Amino acid sequence: MTLANIWDVATKIIDIGIVWIVFYFILKNIKNNIKMVLIFKGVLLILVIKVLSDVLDLYTVGVILQYCLEWGPLAIIVIFQPEIRSVLESIGRTQLLGRHKILTIDEREKVVYEIMKSIEYFKRNRIGALIVIEREISLQEYIEPATKIYADLSSDLLETIFFPNGPLHDGGVIIEGDRITAAGAVFKTSMNPSISKRLGTRHRAALGIAEESDAIALVVSEESGRISVAVDGELNYNLSIDEFRMILIDALNPKPEVFYEAEDKKSAGDE
């Protein structure tokens, strides 16, 4: 094999790799955005109907769908510009090398222990709190304007930050790895129309950051002491302590890539 042939093969591998990475990050971030998921489903539905119209020779339907396919991308860009920008921002904030720190099993257990200790204290005393744990997508844009802490995570520190009428009580705490990075952070609130009107700003902010990123948002209601978790674009409201702990542990555990899971299942089926 000549040097030219080796170079040709290498460039093709790089070309395919770049395309695969782009599609991977787009699909990975689309699943965290409800509106983008609906757009994606709508486009797939139109394509399926278009194929059926060609197979069944439905002339009128085919012409209408042809116009949709020609002008649809432009319409989607104009109408859903905020959602597309949100996905692109999420891709830009994604840390290609993973988290700032990969936690060991002992470190994860300590994080869960310290958070649960403080959550039980907040619930018992009806102290409002919003704790956001960063995962793969960076929260740097929320860390920058917030009050920097850069301290080891502890229940005592969390209880001090959220002490009623304290200067940082109304904002959110951001945790990276096993350290508290910032406090007093302000997050964009969710515009999801299905969320209950009874829920306050903390719950809406928690759902908002869970829709925009892959962060885990933990909420304690100041009025009722109820505890909730927002993760993967969904709000799990009014949980028991045990339910809260299980969701937190599951969300903190490192997840294998879906593509590998699918391959493993397929291999197991073949056996």
For residues 110 and 89, membership in a common domain is answered with no
- Report the number of secondary-structure helices (H) and strands (E) in the chain: 10, 7
**pLDDT for the residue numbered 262:** 45
For residues 9 and 30, membership in a common domain is answered with yes
For residues 111 and 193, membership in a common domain is answered with yes
Evaluate if pTM is beyond 0.75.
no
Q: Which two tokens mark 53?
A: 């119209």
Is residue 22 domain-resident? yes
Of the listed ranges 1-15, 36-50, 73-87, 197-211, the one predicted with least confidence: 73-87
Last residue in a domain, options 93, 125, 152 = 93
Is residue 225 domain-resident? yes
Does residue 269 register a pLDDT over 80?
no
List, for residues 103-153, the tens digit of each pLDDT value. Answer: 788 888 999 999 999 999 999 999 999 999 998 888 888 998 999 999 999
Mean pLDDT, rounded, for 170-181: 93
Is residue 264 domain-resident? no
For residues 88 and 11, membership in a common domain is answered with yes
Q: What CATH number is attached to the domain comprising 116? A: 3.40.1700.10
Is residue 240 domain-resident? yes
Identify the band that residue 97 occupies on the pLDDT scale cut at 50, 70 and 90: very low
CB atoms closer than 10 angstroms to residue 202: 23
For residues 15 and 138, membership in a common domain is answered with no
Share of residues in the chain with pLDDT > 70 (%)? 79
**Which residue blocks in 126-186 are alpha helix, DSSP H?**
140-143, 155-161
| Domain span at 192 | 105-252
For residues 140 and 178, membership in a common domain is answered with yes
